[in-house]
Amino acid sequence: SAVISQKPSRDICQRGTSLTIQCQVDSQVTMMFWYRQQPGQSLTLIATANQGSEATYESGFVIDKFPISRPNLTFSTLTVSNMSPEDSSIYLCSVDPSRDTQYFGPGTRLTVL
């Protein structure tokens, strides 16, 4: 398994601003994943982040809106850019240390006014 922390745990932001979410893992992992969970909904994969390469985005998500950094094997950031109320969601990162099971962080609860 893996222990994952996220910062901030929650935030309230104004429309048009940007928020960067941090994800820290207690061990080195090749792949990290970012998900969005809209209110009352299931999880949707935003992108997969490998260290040393560009993130791979899922259909409907673009780098300009959700830029991702992966500077090393234990850390990643997701930025939600030019926010609107529709971006209000829980954002979760996950890792798959042994390539057979994903483990999730506690999530970042974002409210955009």
Partner 1 sequence: GNSVTQMEGPVTLSEEAFLTINCTYTATGYPSLFWYVQYPGEGLQLLLKATKADDKGSNKGFEATYRKETTSFHLEKGSVQVSDSAVYFCALSNNTDKLIFGTGTRLQVFP
Q: By CB under 8 A, tell whether 28 contacts partner 1.
A: no
Q: By CB under 8 A, tell whether 11 contacts partner 1.
A: no
Q: By CB under 8 A, tell whether 101 contacts partner 1.
A: yes
Give least dist CB 16 to partner 1, A: 28
Nearer to partner 1, 14 or 100 (CB): 100
Question: What's the CA gap between 53 and 66, in Å, rounded?
Answer: 16
Q: By CB under 8 A, tell whether 73 contacts partner 1.
A: no
Question: What's the CA gap between 101 and 92, in Å, rounded?
Answer: 15
39 is written with which tokens? 């209110």
Give least dist CB 99 to partner 1, A: 7
69 is written with which tokens? 């950094």
69: CB partners within 8 A, 6+ apart: 49, 76, 77
Nearer to partner 1, 14 or 99 (CB): 99
> How far out from the chain centre does Cα 91 lie?
5
Contact footprint for partner 1 (CB under 8 A): 1, 6, 31, 33, 41-43, 45, 48, 90, 92, 94, 96, 99-107
